[in-house]
Structure 1
Amino acid sequence: MASGLRRFASLFAGLIAAAAVSGAARGGDVAPDAAPKPAPTPAPAKPRPVNFAREVRPILSDSCFACHGPDDKQRKAKLRLDVHEGVLAKLESGDAAVVPGKVDDSSLAFRIETDDAEMLMPPKSSGKTLTPQQIDVLKRWIAEGAHWGEHWAFEPPVQAAPPAPDAANKGWARTPIDRFLLARIEAEGLKPSREAEPTTLLRRAYLDLTGLPPTPADSDAFLADAAKGLDAAYEKVVDRLLDSPRYGEHMARFWLDAARYGDTHGLHLDNFREMWPYRDWVVNAFNANKPFDQFIVEQLAGDLLPNPTHDQVIATGFNRCHVSTSEGGSIEEEVYVRNVVDQVDTNSTVFLGLTVGCARCHDHKYDPVRQKDYYQLFAFFNNIDGPALDGNISKWAPIVKVPSAEQTAALKAADAKLADLRGKLAAEAAKAVAAYDPKVDEGQSEVVQRGDFVWLDDAPPAGSTPQGDGEFVSKPDHPVLTGKAALRIEAAGLKQKIFEIAGPKLKVGEGDSFFTYVFIDPLKPPKEIMLQWRVAGAWSHRAFWGENVIPWGKDGTTERTRIGDLPASGSWVRIEVAAKTLGLAPGTVIDGWAFTQHDGAAYWDKAGLSTWTPQEGQTYGSLTAWVRARSADGGMGLADPIKAIVKKPRAGRTDDERKQLLAAFVVENGWTTGRSIFEPLLQQIAKTDAERKAVDDAISTTLVFRERVGEPKPAFLLNRGEYDQRRDKVGRATPAFLPPLPPGSSVDRLGLARWLVAPNHPLTARVAVNRFWLHVFGTGIVKTAEDFGSQGEPPSHPELLDWLAVQFRDEGWDVKRFVKRMVMSAAYRQTSQTSAESLAKDPDNRLLSRGPRFRLDAETLRDQAFFVSGMLVERVGGPSVKPPQPAGLWEAVAYTGSNTARFTADTGAEKVHRRSMYTFWKRTSPPPQMTTLDAPSRESCQVRRERTNTPLQALLLLNEPQYVEASRVLAERTLREAKPAPEERLRYMFRLATARQPDARDLAELSAALQDLSAHYAKQPEAAKALIEGGEFKPDAKFDPSELAAWTMIGNILLNLDEVVTKG
């Protein structure tokens, strides 16, 4: 593949350049027949009055506020220029900075143009210099009376009537949007552009509303409808696209940048974080057209809504998307403060369009955000119920489970089955309770006592596997201690009887001892007897009596402990060994016991554990005995309510509690009816419970916000933002320069969220509509979408911004209606072709005298390539996927202990060919296919992506393996679906990629390239094979590799055409 690309590099460069020029005539920047004409010299116009908000305040903010603004700690000469009274106040010299109407008496006018370097303002050391035009604006403002106004963004929007267009362009405007834009276009001496070609408009709408291009079938249907009426056909398409699930996926992508969504914690180990259910909530919210005010409220405070739904709680993941850490040495409170700071900064940028971070350490230098305002906002988020450190785990509390439909159904079925089984168990227990004779409890005490748990008596223990020598013998021919039989071992040398326990095991408790009874044959006494115990499959605990002749274990250790001499012969002797002596700690489980002897004969009977601890399979003759035993082990394994009753003194139990105890006793102990009745039910319950647990454990979780119970955590103003330098205590409140919380509001996150969407709020609706405008037109009405403050760029069309904000708010915050209004406008429907005059006057298209044209975002480029080729897997939602990427990127930034230290690509088209928004996002190493094309890392909030133009981007689109795979699959699709003539195939492939029919020049250039490529790969079969192999879809064996390689390169060329990688 690489050699083929190098061989034809110059050919492709020339072809792409030629195609771009061809595209420019249809939708590029300059029309070939649009030479500029000399404009007549206009008559001198009377200067219009200076607009303070748009012209004066930006100058003061940029050049003066650093020293004479809101920050009183940095203020010089006691002069304040950010408030009107400060501008008019007398200085220490007796002068005033501004005397309205008197330029010569205003020290500001003198200081901004003096030749005295020591008097000049701003001083040279500031790096700021006023232009002659700025000086003229300030002097004219003073002369006109120095009228004041607050910063435009902090005043409530007022909806002005759309201006009437000039007669010449009266028919152009389709919507109020167009009338506002047209007034500015006409004022600049320009004209709007003609409407784009129908196929261009169709592709533009598809990309803007779904992030995917139209198919040829979509284009054919639209053109057929357009023949009957273009406007109706276009509106029909727009409505259909807004109803498509692709719409929500596309819109969510922008929001996830703002929410700083990622699949990892983002710092230090950067471990996996399960957060995708929040991402899916955003997709579903846009598809459902959730009103934007509700969209905001649920993300800020869904958990505080009355009776919140599961989805409303998931929505609060917005405030948990910040980066986190659990690095060794981290200080909990320091990290806690950093987390809350991120939440304050993100909410301020996303909803207020303000950069408030400066106020963490001091009063803002340019905007009226005091440090106190910052920490009053901080107080709203300062009460999360969970640790600050993420613990390097995915389930960083607080979390909620998010079961799939299948998991929900499985849990429901398991619960129904368990209810049925427990009902049957309760019925059997009731029978046993009715048969219980309370007389057996008479005279018994519940005081816990040590007792002998007999494990071996008369026969091998239940579930054990006997091995070795020895047999059970009975009376009267042999001595038996109790019962019917005893174990006899006779040895000449070393013999032993081993019991490996598969059934109930022995559990060691505090202070326990092992015991057994032994009868030494007086005629054949052994030299040594030994007891051995196995733990976790290892025989490493031994005790012996008599001579030291059995060669196992190390003397003086728990592997071989001498207890004493051989017991007396001719009678039964109890021998006992403390578990502690054998090195067996409480809680140890014994899974084997061996009786060993050297020479002679001995009988063994009644072996077990002298213990306080109830053992597996142990039965009790009365309720009292059972309670006594279960008190000893703290009620281990019992349900919490029964455990609590067990711990109560007998006299303190109610009749109902005694009945509950009795029911638990008969089930566990098998009283009267025997365990054979209960055991099958208990086994089924245990099995079903385990199955339910397996389903429950597999359920995904997502991080959410939840308030601590009790009094809110106090918040303090932090000196210079340091977590451990608390100053004044602060309460929750909104910034003083904005409206207060409405009367009766709750003073919490829910109150804050509702304040944001209150009708009198000056920022939220403006910020929202500006961001939607940015996504459709390429640049916001306020270019600095992240900063509506005094350092941000003022709106290009302030009246339009306010009209849109009010309309959006008054129409119920209806996002789809707002998006439709934009794409139905004449401004949106213009061709992007323009004249040299228009390009000179409006190079960045801020006036929108032509249609929007810019390079597609990273995700759209990749999704488009997959979609056009036919390999895109369209499934909405679910866990993130890992398509292939260059090796070693994760490793380069990873700590060895991280669970994202190594990248392993997923396999299967259903994962690696998903839409790009589902790609796994490791924040310390985001997907390079995205970041190369300007996607942010999402380590912090970003509401506006920059668009760069680098050689690396072109190289990625040409060479990245998945793009090459898409080119090859596109080639296979063309060879499979198009008519066999080369020109027909070129037409088909061209239309798939561009959504339009190729013209003669396009076909001629592509035909020439196909001939050269076919000849090249016919001579280079290995290069052809190298090009077409690789990727998830293997090449179709029915196609000749050389032919497929040539068509793959044609697909690669088309997917890299300027008109394909841009929205034209």
Structure 2
Amino acid sequence: MDLGIRLLAASALAAALATATAAAGEPSPTKAKVDFARDVRPILSDACFACHGFDEKERKAGLRLDTHEGAIAKLKSGDAAVVPGNLEESGLVFRVETDDEEMLMPPKKSGKTLTPAQVDVLKRWIAEGAPWSGHWAFEPVKKAEPPKPAEAARARGPVDSFLLARMEAEGLKPSPTAEPAALLRRATLDLTGLPPTIAEADAFLAAVAAEGLDAAYEKAVDRLLDSPRYGEHMARYWLDAARYGDTHGLHLDNFREMWAYRDWVVRAFNSDKPFDQFIVEQLAGDLLPNPTPDQLVATGFNRCHVSTAEGGSIEQEVYTRNVCDQVDTNGSVFLGLTVACARCHDHKYDPISQKEYYQFFAFFNNIDGPALDGNRSRWEPFLPTPTREQAEKMKALDAKVVELKAKVDAEAKRFAAGYDPKADDARPEVVAREDFAWIDDAPPPGAAASGTGDFVGKASHPVKSGRRSLRIEAKGLTQKIVEANGPKLKVGKGDSLFAHVYLDPKNPPREVMLQWKVGGQWARRAIWGENLIDWGKDATVERLRIGDLPADGEWARLEVPTAQLDIAPGTVIEGWAFTLFDGVAYFDEAGLRTWTPQEGRAYPNLTAWIRDRIADDGAGLADDVKAILKKPRGQRSEEERKKLIDLFLAAGWSEVEKAVGPIRDEVAKAEMERKKLDDQVSTTLIFRERAGEPKPAFVLNRGEYDQPKDQVGRVVPAFLPPLPSDAPADRLGLARWLVAPEHPLTARVAVNRFWQQVFGVGLVKTSEDFGAQGEPPSHPELLDWLASTFREEGWDVKKMMRRLVTTAAYRQSAKATPEGLAKDPENRLLARGPRFRLDAETLRDQAFFAGGILVEEMGGPSVKPPQPSGLWEAVAYVGSDTGVFQADEGPRKVHRRSLYTFWKRTAPPPQMATLDAPSRESCRVRRERTNTPLQALLLLNEPQYVEASRALAERTLREAAGTTDERLARMFRIAAGRAPEAAELAELAAALKDFTAHYADKPDQAKALIETGATGPDPALDPRELAPWTMIGNVILNLDEVVTKG
């Protein structure tokens, strides 16, 4: 395809059709009486608080300017920084005006200076008596009476009254109402993330003609709020805040299965779950009485942080980092504060001490699971989320296993009744070393198996012992993990761990590793072959190279003394992992060579059982049985001997095991089927408290995990209302405290983000920072009115969104006037309708929607649409299961909504990242909005956008019979939401004529253009006709009016 002609045509046509773009900036301040919170505090915070603020350790000269008492207090010199009403006596005035660089404040070395206007504000404030008020965001929410603006008739409710009053004060006038078609497109994009269809637009315009704009528009808004697309669109903003991703985010950045949480968020918005309940379930759904599976899924909010299992990672360090992320995220999302600044020291600007940071930390400091993710998608704690069909099948298999095990017990009792112990008399009751196979034919009873690999039968696979072996096939790094929930291996002195392996001669692995879980850590590893698996520190027990790979095509025994792995006698082996790098191998009969008695074993005779019981001093047996065991065989009475026989038969006689073997095979088969089903069932990470007393929390010196200082309890920051006396000091108590009526932040922060979502900028522009360093609200009384109303109306999000998009301010035309741009370049006062570029996901979804190829299937696993090659590989480590990008195939996956795109955090989807989508490595409540040449190039040339342009062309040629102008008009209306004007139509027709001439004698270029993308063109259409129309589609989808909400 010819990039030059495409760029030229797009830029020319865009220039012909573009509308004015609002510039960035702040409205000019009024000259009214100085307001401390609005005018003075921001100056002090930015220029003074770092050295004269809350952080006592950094405070200079004993002067504190973040409190009224500190500002007017006399210093050691006898002077005060602020003497209300007296400029000459106020040391602050002298220090900010002096020409002496030694005395000037802020000092030159700070890199900060005050403007003359800022100095004037400080002087006027002191002259007016230096009135003081607390930081606006920490004061109780007060519901002010809406003002009565002069043009009250323009107001459609209290929100407009506040806005109009401020406009009038600034000498601005509101804009006229937007054209109905533009208004419908704006609202449809804001509430569903998609443009309206032509049918929806026609129905709306007909309703406007019949009922009037007000009634028709309100009905359209209600229809959009009821659309399932609404929840998908709202979820996208929340998932930025929740830092949702499909990978762990660090080191290997392996796959993490959490899409059930994403789908929960969509359902929550669609069902209009009250926002206070939405918060409580995410923070503490597991602590609610009898929590539902959905409420457990919701707690994934606190598990979305990045994680690692990198070799050499220190568990406590990673654990601390994980909890700090939860603290910082909750602080940003619900409090709108930069609490992370208090991790290492007292906050320099806001009243959050380091101690209070770790008191907040204590609420999250008790998760029941390991800090390291093990490079597994199923990182404890997690919740299986089976489909209804899977759940029914699991229930049936569980019942079958119970029935078969009952048969085993019945048969064992029947067979054991005929046991004759006389043959055992000749065997010595001595301890002897022997192999104890812990894994053979299947995982041990009750064990949890995960990873890749299946137990296969001897009919078509090599098997050393029993009826099955474990087959693992690897491309790169692959692992099968078995974790004990039942019998475990207990290590004795001089023992060794062993496993038998058969390397496939047709595809032998490059490295074999055995790994064991000890003390909750997978930190004991033995390797054979190449040293390709970089887990743990080399040449230590974390990565101990034993030797070369054994010969392939035959069974070989791998054995490592436990002493060599630094596993002390008495240690319990909690898990076993078999790992390959490339190739195919079979494992069989793995366990411990020991003389220490093991749980769960079968005994060939009574003597063997007695021998083990003597060896472990009768552990677990009654005192009278221990006394019997201490007697020599010949001194035991018949009654004592019978008691031992009964215990032996109950423990497991190997002959009984042989008798019930066929039934056990059926049990194993059913359990295998159940296990395979378990592996197929999706899971999601959840939060769960560990049992017992909460884990203690400490202030950490400079935030270092290994430098604990004073122990702290679960307490909320002192500048906010306290936890109710009857509230539990846990996450549930914290969540309910956040949504309590007296809390000054949560409702303000929430409605501000809804406002930001609709109008482009929040009433508080710094929506991530409501603290001293953040910008004060442009309309403080309006913010409080919205926050109060939100709470009073039951935290109803749909009602709030409806209120915002039905305001007269929202319904205005977005066209800017020179006067409006000069007075309010950022449109903070909303004298015109909101206008800004669409977000990354909306741009892609809109293009597919316009082409008629958007797949609107909801929910399910994330999908991988095509992207440039090599991006994942560039950041990949050896062994990562997301190291190589493999695009999905077929429109059902590659044309899904962008919400469902797989999000690898170390390499986010490039189409999204280029258009300012965050990496989701950390919480983001406000996206930056940039305009770069790369973005324009992406929209013009990225294959999926070109494919969408072709689909729009195909749709037009199929659906719009008639003249060329009629087809062009329809294509334009599909994308822009309105009919083109005559001049615009002429521009399009001229461009089509040029493109047609270009491709007439360039069939190869035409073919290359229309074959761009994951799906092929309609074979019924002539490439030489389709290519020019594809270019027109490309141009239209790149128009400023189309990529912008206006």
What is the deviation of 1:1061?
0.4
Aligned to 1:11: 9
1:858-914 deviation digits (Å, cap 9, x = unpaired): 000001111111111112111111111111111112222322221111112121111
What is the deviation of 1:725?
2.2
- The answer as to whether partners of 1:29 and 1:835 remain within 8 angstroms in 2 is no
Residues 450 and 219 of structure 1, relative CA distance in 2, 3 Å threshold: same
SS, match of residue 112 in structure 1: helix
Q: Which amino acid aligns with 1:942?
A: R
Q: Does 1:690 align with 2:688?
A: no
Aligned residue runs from structure 1 range 154-165, under 5 A: 154-165=138-149
Aligned to 1:548: none
Q: Does 1:969 align with 2:969?
A: no
What is the deviation of 1:429?
6.9
Residues 1002 and 94 of structure 1, relative CA distance in 2, 3 Å threshold: same
Q: Does 1:906 align with 2:888?
A: yes
The equivalent position to 2:866 in structure 1, one of 865, 869, 884, is: 884
Q: Structure 2 length as normaliser, TM-score?
A: 0.79
- The answer as to whether partners of 1:422 and 1:685 remain within 8 angstroms in 2 is yes
Aligned to 2:312: 329
What is the deviation of 1:687?
2.6
SS, match of residue 378 in structure 1: helix
What is the deviation of 1:650?
12
Q: Does 1:172 align with 2:176?
A: no
What is the deviation of 1:109?
2.1
1:567-616 deviation digits (Å, cap 9, x = unpaired): xxxxxxxxxxxxxxx998999xxxxxxxxxxxxxxxxxxxxxxx999xxx
Residues 321 and 670 of structure 1, relative CA distance in 2, 3 Å threshold: closer
Aligned to 1:283: 266
Q: Which amino acid aligns with 1:313?
A: L
Q: Does 1:192 align with 2:174?
A: yes
1:189-233 deviation digits (Å, cap 9, x = unpaired): 111111111111111111111111111111112222222222222
What is the deviation of 1:412?
2.2
Q: Does 1:64 align with 2:51?
A: no
Aligned to 2:756: 774
SS, match of residue 347 in structure 1: helix
Q: Which amino acid aligns with 1:369?
A: I
- The answer as to whether partners of 2:609 and 2:648 remain within 8 angstroms in 1 is no
Measured in 2, the distance between the counterparts of 1:628 and 1:1042 equals 90
Aligned residue runs from structure 1 range 53-452, under 5 A: 53-166=37-150, 169-229=151-211, 230-419=213-402, 421=404, 436=417
Measured in 1, the distance between the counterparts of 2:766 and 2:356 equals 23
The equivalent position to 2:1011 in structure 1, one of 1029, 1038, 1041, is: 1029
- The answer as to whether partners of 2:331 and 2:339 remain within 8 angstroms in 1 is yes
What is the deviation of 1:963?
0.6
What is the deviation of 1:654?
15
- The answer as to whether partners of 1:363 and 1:370 remain within 8 angstroms in 2 is yes
1:90-135 deviation digits (Å, cap 9, x = unpaired): 1122122222222222222222223333322222222222222222
1:375-398 deviation digits (Å, cap 9, x = unpaired): 111222222222222222222222
Deviates more, 1:319-328 or 1:423-432: 423-432
Percentage identity across aligned positions? 66
Count of matched residue pairs: 884
Residues 926 and 438 of structure 1, relative CA distance in 2, 3 Å threshold: closer
Aligned residue runs from structure 1 range 710-789, under 5 A: 710-789=692-771
Aligned to 1:822: 804
Could you tell me which runs of 5 or more consecutive residues in structure 1 were left unpaired when the two chains were aligned.
Answer: 31-44, 454-499, 511-533, 539-581, 588-610, 614-619, 635-642
Q: Which amino acid aligns with 1:1021?
A: P
Measured in 1, the distance between the counterparts of 2:192 and 2:305 equals 28
Q: Structure 1 length as normaliser, TM-score?
A: 0.77
- The answer as to whether partners of 1:869 and 1:966 remain within 8 angstroms in 2 is yes
- The answer as to whether partners of 1:863 and 1:915 remain within 8 angstroms in 2 is yes
1:337-374 deviation digits (Å, cap 9, x = unpaired): 22222111111111111112221122111111111111
What is the deviation of 1:968?
0.9
Aligned to 1:541: none
- The answer as to whether partners of 1:210 and 1:247 remain within 8 angstroms in 2 is yes
Q: Which amino acid aligns with 2:15?
A: A
Measured in 1, the distance between the counterparts of 2:621 and 2:198 equals 72
What is the deviation of 1:747?
1.2
Q: Indicate the RMSD between aligned Cα atoms, in angstroms.
A: 3.7
Residues 875 and 633 of structure 1, relative CA distance in 2, 3 Å threshold: farther
Aligned to 2:568: none
- The answer as to whether partners of 1:69 and 1:81 remain within 8 angstroms in 2 is yes
What is the deviation of 1:703?
1.9
- The answer as to whether partners of 2:9 and 2:1035 remain within 8 angstroms in 1 is no
Measured in 2, the distance between the counterparts of 1:438 and 1:921 equals 62
Residues 659 and 689 of structure 1, relative CA distance in 2, 3 Å threshold: farther
Measured in 2, the distance between the counterparts of 1:632 and 1:1049 equals 85
Aligned to 1:864: 846
- The answer as to whether partners of 1:612 and 1:632 remain within 8 angstroms in 2 is no
Aligned to 2:495: none
The equivalent position to 1:919 in structure 2, one of 883, 887, 901, is: 901
SS, match of residue 171 in structure 1: helix
Deviates more, 1:334-343 or 1:180-189: 334-343
Measured in 2, the distance between the counterparts of 1:501 and 1:719 equals 56
Deviates more, 1:149-158 or 1:399-408: 399-408
Measured in 1, the distance between the counterparts of 2:694 and 2:358 equals 14
Measured in 2, the distance between the counterparts of 1:300 and 1:758 equals 15
Residues 628 and 199 of structure 1, relative CA distance in 2, 3 Å threshold: farther
Aligned to 1:813: 795
Measured in 2, the distance between the counterparts of 1:648 and 1:304 equals 45
1:648-685 deviation digits (Å, cap 9, x = unpaired): 8798999999999879979x8579xx95xx67655444
Residues 926 and 650 of structure 1, relative CA distance in 2, 3 Å threshold: farther
The equivalent position to 1:1019 in structure 2, one of 970, 993, 1001, is: 1001
Measured in 2, the distance between the counterparts of 1:769 and 1:816 equals 12
What is the deviation of 1:424?
6.1
1:623-662 deviation digits (Å, cap 9, x = unpaired): x97666677899xxxxxxxx999x9879899999999987
Larger Rg computed on CA atoms: 1
SS, match of residue 220 in structure 1: helix
Residues 887 and 584 of structure 1, relative CA distance in 2, 3 Å threshold: closer
What is the deviation of 1:271?
1.7
Could you tell me which runs of 5 or more consecutive residues in structure 2 were left unpaired when the two chains were aligned.
Answer: 24-28, 435-461, 470-490, 492-499, 505-554, 561-592, 596-601, 614-619, 630-639
Residues 110 and 8 of structure 1, relative CA distance in 2, 3 Å threshold: closer
Q: Which amino acid aligns with 2:228?
A: P
What is the deviation of 1:240?
1.8
Residues 410 and 1020 of structure 1, relative CA distance in 2, 3 Å threshold: same
Q: Which amino acid aligns with 1:881?
A: V
Measured in 1, the distance between the counterparts of 2:825 and 2:1013 equals 42
Measured in 1, the distance between the counterparts of 2:422 and 2:946 equals 83
Residues 760 and 682 of structure 1, relative CA distance in 2, 3 Å threshold: same
1:395-431 deviation digits (Å, cap 9, x = unpaired): 2222222222232122123234445555666677787
SS, match of residue 729 in structure 1: strand
SS, match of residue 872 in structure 1: coil
Aligned to 2:827: 845
Q: Does 1:928 align with 2:926?
A: no
What is the deviation of 1:857?
0.2
The equivalent position to 2:682 in structure 1, one of 696, 700, 707, is: 700
